[in-house]
Amino acid sequence: MNLTLDIGNTAVKWATFEGRTMLEHGYDLPTDKLTEAEAVLACVSGALPDTVYDIPLITADTSLPIRLDYKTPATLGADRIAAACGAWSLYGGKPCLIVDAGTCITVDFLDAEGVYHGGAIMPGLQMNLQALHTFTAKLPLIDIRGVNKAPVLGRTTEESILAGTLGATMLALGGFVALYKQKAPGLVVTLTGGDADRLTAAGASGWELQPNLTMIGLNEIMINNEK
């Protein structure tokens, strides 16, 4: 059995695999998963990996099923690497644009030959809402966790903030998708991360929703290192 951990800014996500089959997954790691130490191989990605000890961490130096074509691989986040490996596992042979909507939103391009070329980093939804509240005198702080869908036309201050935040994000992501579709015909767009469902509700239609993409990628890396 393989155990994968994704330690983010707001949650610790985990999954167990038998081969490429996901058995269980969740957001808080039960201690009984770690008691199966002899049966479990574990690897970690995420924003705060230094909080975990004696478990292999994913870096650009790890043996990967994809090739990195990135100017500064040492600065490349483990979560971006893992998500790209997950996309390769699911869509190998097709160009893929990976949208990971977490604390930050990352957009990454993986070509049909499995070469990762980089992409973009932008503020996540809650980060945008926090900035509007922090750097103005009167705008309220809205918790994105209570929002399922935002109006296109805001008729209150709160609605206007949500319309601007989600609208700007969706327009930006739609622009990236359009540009990469010109660059790579047959492009698969996959959406993951904590706000993936929220972006889907906001109009991210035609994108492949893969909430466990990072976990799938971590498992694929482990399989690659078992060879």
Assigned token pair, 47: 């924003």
CB of 58 within 8 A of CB of 221? yes
DSSP strand pairing (115-123 vs 2-7):
unpaired
CB of 10 within 8 A of CB of 194? yes
Element (H, E) at 81: helix 78-91
79 catalytically annotated: yes
Annotated active-site residue in 6, 61, 79, 197: 79
3-state secondary structure of 74: helix
What is the spatial distance between Cα 168 and Cα 186, in angstroms, rounded to a whole number? 26
What is the spatial distance between Cα 25 and Cα 34, in angstroms, rounded to a whole number? 14
- 2 forms bridges with which residues in the sheet? 17, 41
CA angle 122, 53, 220 (to 5 degrees): 60
Active-site residue list: 79
